[in-house]
Structure 1
Amino acid sequence: MPLHMTKIAFGAASVESLRDWLESRDEPQLTTRYLPKRHEEMVGGSLYWIHEHVLVGRSPIRRFSQRDDGRWTIALEPVLVRVEPRARRAHQGWRYLDEKDAPPDLAEGSLAGEPLPARLVSELAKLGLA
């Protein structure tokens, strides 16, 4: 089972703007100062995006490579696969996400528009309904 990671979709005004950014590039890339210790387990896994305190989608991870300045590049597939919305606290950088904790993908067309507001997803989770 591949290992995944979570990251805040910093600067994305909406889930659609995140999708547009990903799909407008042949190979979207993120940079990080440090190579994740478990990076080999994450190739073939996904980067799960957090937008407004909710996991909203994932992008498959292609590879990790080092840049000339010593930083690391995370190369992604140019796609945003929508997932079942789950409340998630904000954090800096990235965090590991085990397969058993990753939300399932949504069926095509099962969610139109923006996800539920983070506050509502959080309340539903507290009640055991999300």
Structure 2
Amino acid sequence: MSKRIHIVKLCVGIESYEDLEQRLTMRGGQTSGHVTRMRPKQEEALLNGGSLYWVIKGDIQARQEIKALEEVIGEDGIKRCRIVLAKPLIRTQNAARRAFQGWRYLKPEDAPADMPKGRKNEEELPPELAQSLADLGLF
């Protein structure tokens, strides 16, 4: 069985999940895409059910399934990679991520779970439980 891997990317200029969803809706069509300078080396694993996880305001909040990787040439003549992404956008449980440049691979076991359909956010933990988890380094 082939392995699977994901990509995590900062969603610069987007304020919320709803903001990203609205921008994707305005573009129309069944797919969207993101152009990046570096082509992922683990193409086979990405195309085996991988997703691009979007970091919005310091948290992974959404993902899109990766459909294809295409070579594109920019106006400057430099080769780039277009990551073709499926629609719709899928809301995930929030997972904090520090800022970084470019994109990073994300192992399936480290990827946040999808939110159940119809849920827009996670329920707040009771303050005592949140503090206990933070003390243990788990929250």
TM-score of the two chains, using structure 2 as the length reference: 0.77
Alpha carbons 2:63, 2:91 under 8 Å: kept:
yes
1:126 has 2:134 as partner: yes
1:49 has 2:57 as partner: no
Change (3 A) 1:125 1:111: farther
Partner of 1:31: 35
Alpha carbons 1:81, 1:105 under 8 Å: kept:
yes
Partner of 1:4: 6
Alpha carbons 1:45, 1:61 under 8 Å: kept:
yes
Structure 2 residue corresponding to 1:66, chosen from 68, 71, 87 = 71
CA RMSD of aligned residues (A): 2.4
| 3-state DSSP of counterpart to 1:106 | coil
Residue identity (%):
36
Give distance in 1, aligned partners of 2:42 and 2:132. 32
Give distance in 1, aligned partners of 2:26 and 2:59. 23
CA deviation profile, 1:90-119 (whole Å, cap 9, x unmatched):
11110000001111111012235x998xxx
Change (3 A) 1:40 1:14: same
Change (3 A) 1:63 1:72: same
What are the ranges of 5 or more consecutive residues in structure 1 without an aligned counterpart? 117-122
Structure 1 residue corresponding to 2:100, chosen from 91, 105, 130 = 91
What are the ranges of 5 or more consecutive residues in structure 2 without an aligned counterpart? 125-130
Alpha carbons 1:29, 1:75 under 8 Å: kept:
yes
Give distance in 2, aligned partners of 1:50 and 1:87. 8
Q: 1:129 deviation in Å? A: 5.5
Give distance in 2, aligned partners of 1:38 and 1:84. 25
